[in-house]
Structure 1
Amino acid sequence: MSDFDLVDIEVTHEPPDNVLSVDPDETSEEHLHTVQAVRLKAGQPDSELRSLKQLDENSVKMLEHQVDAAYRALFEMDGKALLSDEVGLGKTIEVGMILKEMHFRETNDSVLILTPAQLAKQWQAELREKFGLEFVCNYDDEFRGFDSHDYIIASIDTAKSDRYRQAVLRRDWDVLVLDEAHYVKNEETDRYELIDHLSYNYAFFLTATPIQNELTDLYNIVSLLRPGLFGTRDVFHQYFVNSDQETLVNRNELQDRLNKVMIRNRREDTDVDFTDRRVDTRKFEPSPAERELYQAVSDYVKGAYSQDQGQKLVLMLLQKEVVSSPEALETTIRKRLDDQSELTQTEELESILDLINNIDTVTKQERLLDIVEEARENVEKGRVIVFTQFRATQRRVAERLVSEGYTVHSFHGGHSSQEKEEIIKNFEEQGGILVSTDAMSEGRNAQFCNILVNWDLPWNPMRVEQRIGRIHRIGQNRQVYVFNMALTDTVEEYVLERLFHKIDIFQQSIGELSEILTRLEESGKSFEDEIFERLVNADSEVDLENDFDAMAVDLQEQRDLAEKLEEFNSGVFEGFDLGASDD
């Protein structure tokens, strides 16, 4: 486009109901400053965050980049900001500082914090313990609805539900906080629609991945905070990105506009000293009975997949369960037999059940004892987190550890939010072994533990990194140990040795992993689909090894493309004032 003035778009764009109306003689930004920001600054100088002097240094350690982000969000962005620090830099702490300051200045009469369901109670605990801020959570017994409390933390899916949606929308909220804001990047979802129709004066959105697939993601999130900042979606795309999205145009203009709403700190730009991460993959030779079972399941999966590709998900599940535990595999096999309408495969399935019954000793269970015993002897309270994908495996592992005299805690998605909080608290206080499903792999903080065991391995590397991120984050002051368990000559060894280690996923950031996966999935396949299809289509073990080697090469190429994307994203974020002093 030529002769195009974005300023005209911002002024003429029609704001939705949740934005204060603009006087014809004022620009939108001047109006925000004079009407909303005056409340933040009234009666108090804005040269510092005064409330921070009230905080207990033993409760929260305030880092320079966090204090700076809170200050800028309040006083340079007039209380509407996208906090986009990289993973692990403490965006929740930044919001806590913001809310504490607003409470100090009496500008937070009503606050709504929307989070993923599994993080609501954690938010509640952190704001109470670190900042002395009391919120009711929608999972509390005393919660009476969104029109009955002034300080609420709730899952966004609860807020958008038919039961509560109208009550949420009826209120004029002083402050809205939206965690994991990338979940509202799609304007066609109920989540996006809820935020779009909410009425609020101040808003703070959090996401470490403001751009996941394309710049339009960023446009949608920013437009919820500052409607009109970028004009219409089509104009934004045409003005800032060329047709193949490889070249950023009008870069200075984009940076200027993002600087009005977005704060992004990167790890290398902060003074945070993350501890080292040591990864140890331990491979074990399965027993003859385990080997026979693995081969039988693999043969069954191959044969069934060649006959009916519609069974893909359950066949993939069987292939994962056979290296996890006989109990997990048996659960699915029996369900499959109960549901089977045709009898063509019954004999094979019954044969697999017979092989399961032949297994007396589970190799991984015996080898896990070596790891946890070492921890019990050398680490305070012997704390270890053991991750598995399957509830049946979790039960069996927990039973075995209890029988050996360990203090064991089990964590899974079937627990209530309150139960989950109690489990984590007990694990911290009592020590021992926490055996968890992936229900804990997002958002939960467990820096008091520094040893993690991947009993079985998700094929998606993002899920692996999310597991590790529970203990390897700000507040972790010890070296982190990650143990991966794998049976030799099985799919999990191929995934570990020929994929994960070759592309070095254990030392990459979540942002880098996300970019690699995004590039792969743009081709129409997920990471897990790619692994499974190579597994079932290989004609021999040698072919399978070669196929996984080839996939590693493909992934390295995707990584190279991801680096180009990172250069593109850096072009977007380059030049941001990250809070460093000019002195």
Structure 2
Amino acid sequence: MGADAADLLASTLVDAQVDLNPHQVEAALFAFHSPLSKGVILADEVGLGKTIEAGLVIAQRWAERKRNILVICPANLRKQWHQELQDKFSLQAQILEAKSYRELVKAGTKHPFDQARVLICSYQFAKSKADDLRRVAWDLVVMDEAHRLRNVYKQSNVIGKALKEALANAPKVLLTATPLQNSLLELYGLVSLVDERVFGDLPSFRDQFGALNNAATVTKLRERLQPVCMRTLRRQVQPYISYTKRIPMVEQFTPSQDEQVLRDMVSDYLRRPALNALPAGQRQLISLVLWKLLASSSHAIGGALGTMAQRLQDKLGAALADKTNAQLSEELDKDYESLDETEEEWGEDGDDSGPPLASVAEEIAELREFQRLATTIRDNAKGQALLVALGKAFAELEELGANKKALIFTESRRTQDYLLQLIELSPYAGQAVLFNGTNTSDQATAIYQAWLQRHAGTDRITGSRTADTRAALVEHFRDSAQIMIATEAGAEGINLQFCSLVINYDLPWNPQRIEQRIGRCHRYGQKHDVVVVNFIDHSNPADKRVYELLAQKFQLFEGVFGASDEVLGTIGSGVDFERRIAEIYQTCRNPQEIETSFQQLQLDLSGEINAAMLKTRQLLLENFDEAVQDKLKVRQTESKSARNRYERLLMDLTHAELRDHAEFDHEGFTLNQTPPGLTPSDVPSGRYELPRRSGDAHLYRTGHPLAQALIAQAKGRILPPARIRFDYDAYGSNVSTLKALRGQSGWLSFSVLSIDALGLVEDYLLVVAITNAGEAMHEEDAEKLLRLPAELLQDDLLMQPPATLDEEVLRLERQHIQAVNTRNLGYFDAEVQKLDAWADDLKVGLENEVKELDREIKDVRRTATVAATLEEKLSWQKRQRELEDKRSQLRRRIFDRQDEIDGQRSRLIDDLEGRLASTSTLKDIFKIQWELA
């Protein structure tokens, strides 16, 4: 079974709860293409499911019992990764962040990263725990949105350099739609994260590939990249995936006079150089949150202002500044649930220096006045605009033939409560459900309890109240409610493709957060176009310009795919763009300043999108559509065949082991009683299906406790030699190669060959059959024989197997070992070629330094020749001698360096040769004397 065969992933394909597309299987197999590989870059365009591809790789490593697995991703994608691995691959991952890390340490876990399970953390947290990461022998590290590390070759990329050093020996899968944006050096940076020996050092890369000025250089670079980087385009997978469009709608509104007064007063307050209420070390972060809450609703900002006033009052009374500052962010986080993620992404350093502070008492009085005004505003103009927008959007959905369901996003829990009250007084009363980070409301609890009763005894219930409440609320929205009002943090990681209307009641400034929101509905499997509604405040020029940028420059709200790779890749994490917007709100006081700042921001964005680099990316990373599509057709057939065969084998084994405990049909089985040795809690009775077709059937899969127990039970059986009669006619299908054998008899051997090479153990089933005439049957025919119905005969006529049977087994064993050795030799040769290219790169770099000195010496010699005075001539002669001495030293260093490079190469090859040595064991499972009736 080679690493390029779909059979490698057979059990993972069966267990994955997702309709796998051939390009995803192809990408996963690419990641396994050589056991000597240190990793790959999967660079599919946006929307093709790179998370699924990486999930397949993770699930396969897990199945191989390689359990030290780490996923590093942007902070706002952690929950999504957690949910995807749980829902689609039945893998229970753990998110590590400051709080959970501290709790684990407190509970006695000395090294929280060393747990033999799938762990998920953000880039910032991974960087802060680099020493912990270095300590773990990782089996796999996945880096999502890896383009943010593409400048790792620069000293300024602190996160990239820290992670590169900490994870130097870990096999990696990097996920990014934009591996190359502005410079070829970015490609060098990403590849060096995966494998330091694909290219030489940075100077030699610049010398060889800095200017792709001829076809030979392009071809050479492309050949270097092909083993480590794979890119699939959306147009190449159109035969397998149909995409729907996004339809934008804008609802404009004008705040009331009181709302505008409140906004202006709070805005002026936030723009002051120094504030008692905001800790200087978190000034930018908390100001951002307050600007967002101000735009959200009077209820949201009113609550925050009250919190700030109370904290200042406590500070004034108790003089506990540090305690107060720490608690302010914690209090705001209860309403603005994304604060912890934003704080982690912004990474603001605590600097408590600043201008002299005004009177605390005066500031408290101001905050109380702002709060009083906010609480007197009960109806918000944007809230009324929401009701109007719902009517228009539902009419649009009716035209599209989609479900009349709406997903409304807000960044504030208080705004969420206000919107629920608003909807309860509208024609949509009783149709709304709330979804947030805690989901502890009376409504959520009642929905959760009803869901538990409805799914009692099924594997829909995970036992995690948090996960099950989320599942219950999503199901309630799908089946009963018309509107879900969700906070951004709460809705991470959920699949709402049954909904075709996304309403951004509050609009984030980070384009990637918006893309993630819309992606809850506009995703693979969506059958209808998705309507996206946004609101524009007529009276706020900054709000209007933000929307224009997001809609026009980032193309977030219309088209088939949403934000383009080029634009989203340009902004990296999206945090820098968010900072720029926050800075405009913080510093610009009039429409002219706002307009000037936004024009500059748009100009900067345009300058960062490099058309020449897009062309270079196509040349280097994209393959011809026809070749890709042909390969995907083959992969689709292979993966479907492997999956079907594995499902059949699993069900056949289950049927054989559960014969007295279950009733079987074409779609699954009904377990009447729990088999001996298992408990009803692990293996409840009821309906089991593979794949699951009916709503409440247990999902049967390789990793299910029942399947694991039955496999172990079957493996543990002692099978002495026996006489077996196979019944050809009872099989019900024509097997032409066996038909001619009816009435004949012979011997069959079944054994397992295990080959250990390159750190991998591969198992092969050897099925050998011969007739009594001594003729060897084809291996496929021997396997087919075992599928026929059979009966056990009296063993009093059992004879000794002939020697030719064992000879045939040994012949097949040698054949498999030879095939594995030949394949591994191919991997070895490819790795040696890579090492040779790496060594040549380094030598070229050194030789180029000498050439540069030669050129400089010639220039100096020429200048000395034409010098006008003796003093000048002597000065240039002296300079020439210095350069010649330097060249001599460099040449000596080159010899030493070349010896060092050759020595490294030799040591690496010795290491590879040691790993290439293989051992094998052959284990007999059973031998039977057969006859075919």
Local SS of the residue matching 1:361: coil
Local SS of the residue matching 1:581: helix
Listed as ranges, the matches of 1:202-213 within 5 Å are: 202-211=171-180
Residues 478, 77 of structure 1: alpha-carbon distance in 2 compared, 3 angstrom cutoff: farther
Residues 366, 159 of structure 1: alpha-carbon distance in 2 compared, 3 angstrom cutoff: closer
Pick one of 431, 439, 451 that aligns with 2:489: 439
1:563 aligned partner = 611
**Residues in 1 aligned to 2:130 and 2:611: alpha-carbon distance in whole angstroms:** 43
Structure 1 position 57, deviation (Å) = 10
Residues 358, 115 of structure 1: alpha-carbon distance in 2 compared, 3 angstrom cutoff: same
Q: What code does the residue aligned with 1:263 have?
A: M
Q: Is 2:132 the counterpart of 1:152?
A: no
Pick one of 392, 397, 419 that aligns with 1:397: 419
Q: Is the CA contact 1:300–1:348 (under 8 Å) kept in the aligned structure 2?
A: no
Structure 1 position 395, deviation (Å) = 3.9
Residues 502, 380 of structure 1: alpha-carbon distance in 2 compared, 3 angstrom cutoff: closer
Q: Is the CA contact 2:69–2:118 (under 8 Å) kept in the aligned structure 1?
A: yes
**Residues in 2 aligned to 1:148 and 1:499: alpha-carbon distance in whole angstroms:** 44
2:603 aligned partner = 554
Alignment TM-score, normalising by the size of structure 2: 0.48
Q: Is the CA contact 2:275–2:358 (under 8 Å) kept in the aligned structure 1?
A: no
2:580 aligned partner = 529
1:87 aligned partner = 46
1:282 aligned partner = 251
Q: How many residues align?
A: 527
1:363 aligned partner = 381
**Residues in 1 aligned to 2:289 and 2:113: alpha-carbon distance in whole angstroms:** 44
Q: Is 2:472 the counterpart of 1:426?
A: yes
Local SS of the residue matching 1:280: strand
1:331 aligned partner = 303
Residues 149, 320 of structure 1: alpha-carbon distance in 2 compared, 3 angstrom cutoff: closer
**Residues in 1 aligned to 2:136 and 2:605: alpha-carbon distance in whole angstroms:** 51
Structure 1 position 335, deviation (Å) = 4.8
Structure 1 position 388, deviation (Å) = 2.2
Q: Is the CA contact 1:383–1:449 (under 8 Å) kept in the aligned structure 2?
A: yes
Listed as ranges, the matches of 1:67-466 within 5 Å are: 67-75=25-33, 80-98=39-57, 107-116=64-73, 123=81, 126-127=84-85, 129-131=87-89, 134-135=91-92, 137=94, 150-155=116-121, 169-171=135-137, 173-182=138-147, 185=150, 186=152, 189=158, 193=162, 196-198=165-167, 202-211=171-180, 214-241=183-210, 250-271=217-238, 272-301=241-270, 304=272, 317-337=289-309, 338-339=311-312, 341-343=357-359, 349-372=367-390, 375=394, 383-401=405-423, 404-412=429-437, 421-431=467-477, 432=481, 433-439=483-489, 445-466=495-516
Residues 462, 213 of structure 1: alpha-carbon distance in 2 compared, 3 angstrom cutoff: farther
**Residues in 1 aligned to 2:370 and 2:113: alpha-carbon distance in whole angstroms:** 56
Structure 1 position 255, deviation (Å) = 1.6
Q: What code does the residue aligned with 1:292 have?
A: V
**Residues in 1 aligned to 2:413 and 2:243: alpha-carbon distance in whole angstroms:** 32
Q: Please tell me whether Structure 1 or Structure 2 has the larger radius of gyration of its CA atoms.
A: 2
**Residues in 1 aligned to 2:76 and 2:573: alpha-carbon distance in whole angstroms:** 28
**Residues in 2 aligned to 1:545 and 1:183: alpha-carbon distance in whole angstroms:** 29
Q: What code does the residue aligned with 2:615 have?
A: E
**Identity %, equivalent residues:** 24
Residues 163, 520 of structure 1: alpha-carbon distance in 2 compared, 3 angstrom cutoff: closer
**Residues in 1 aligned to 2:250 and 2:286: alpha-carbon distance in whole angstroms:** 27
Structure 1 position 259, deviation (Å) = 0.7
**Residues in 2 aligned to 1:146 and 1:210: alpha-carbon distance in whole angstroms:** 31
Structure 1 position 261, deviation (Å) = 0.5
**Residues in 2 aligned to 1:207 and 1:248: alpha-carbon distance in whole angstroms:** 26
Residues 68, 516 of structure 1: alpha-carbon distance in 2 compared, 3 angstrom cutoff: closer
**Residues in 2 aligned to 1:246 and 1:554: alpha-carbon distance in whole angstroms:** 29
Local SS of the residue matching 2:243: coil
Q: Deviations over 1:375-399 (max 9, x none)?
A: 5996987543222233433343345
Local SS of the residue matching 2:496: coil
Q: Is the CA contact 1:410–1:423 (under 8 Å) kept in the aligned structure 2?
A: no
**Residues in 2 aligned to 1:155 and 1:516: alpha-carbon distance in whole angstroms:** 23
**Residues in 2 aligned to 1:122 and 1:518: alpha-carbon distance in whole angstroms:** 19
Alignment TM-score, normalising by the size of structure 1: 0.72
Structure 1 position 89, deviation (Å) = 0.8
Local SS of the residue matching 1:323: helix
Structure 1 position 297, deviation (Å) = 3.6
Structure 1 position 483, deviation (Å) = 0.8
**Residues in 2 aligned to 1:319 and 1:166: alpha-carbon distance in whole angstroms:** 37
Q: Is the CA contact 1:494–1:548 (under 8 Å) kept in the aligned structure 2?
A: no
Q: Is the CA contact 1:239–1:249 (under 8 Å) kept in the aligned structure 2?
A: no
Residues 470, 211 of structure 1: alpha-carbon distance in 2 compared, 3 angstrom cutoff: farther
1:4 aligned partner = none
2:525 aligned partner = 475
1:484 aligned partner = 534
Q: Deviations over 1:60-91 (max 9, x none)?
A: 22222222222333236865322121222112
Q: Identify which range, 271-280 or 386-395, moves more after superposition.
A: 386-395
Residues 55, 70 of structure 1: alpha-carbon distance in 2 compared, 3 angstrom cutoff: closer
Local SS of the residue matching 1:208: coil
**Residues in 1 aligned to 2:237 and 2:586: alpha-carbon distance in whole angstroms:** 43
Structure 1 position 55, deviation (Å) = 4.1
Residues 517, 184 of structure 1: alpha-carbon distance in 2 compared, 3 angstrom cutoff: closer
Note the residue ranges of structure 2 that are not aligned, 5 or more in a row.
317-356, 441-462, 634-933
**Residues in 2 aligned to 1:237 and 1:258: alpha-carbon distance in whole angstroms:** 16
**Residues in 1 aligned to 2:70 and 2:13: alpha-carbon distance in whole angstroms:** 21
Q: Is the CA contact 2:293–2:301 (under 8 Å) kept in the aligned structure 1?
A: yes
Local SS of the residue matching 1:286: coil
Local SS of the residue matching 1:356: helix
Q: What code does the residue aligned with 1:85 have?
A: D
**Residues in 1 aligned to 2:205 and 2:370: alpha-carbon distance in whole angstroms:** 57
Q: Deviations over 1:145-193 (max 9, x none)?
A: 779865534436799599996597354x444444444465547657764
Q: Is the CA contact 2:133–2:166 (under 8 Å) kept in the aligned structure 1?
A: no
Q: What code does the residue aligned with 1:426 have?
A: A
Residues 441, 238 of structure 1: alpha-carbon distance in 2 compared, 3 angstrom cutoff: farther
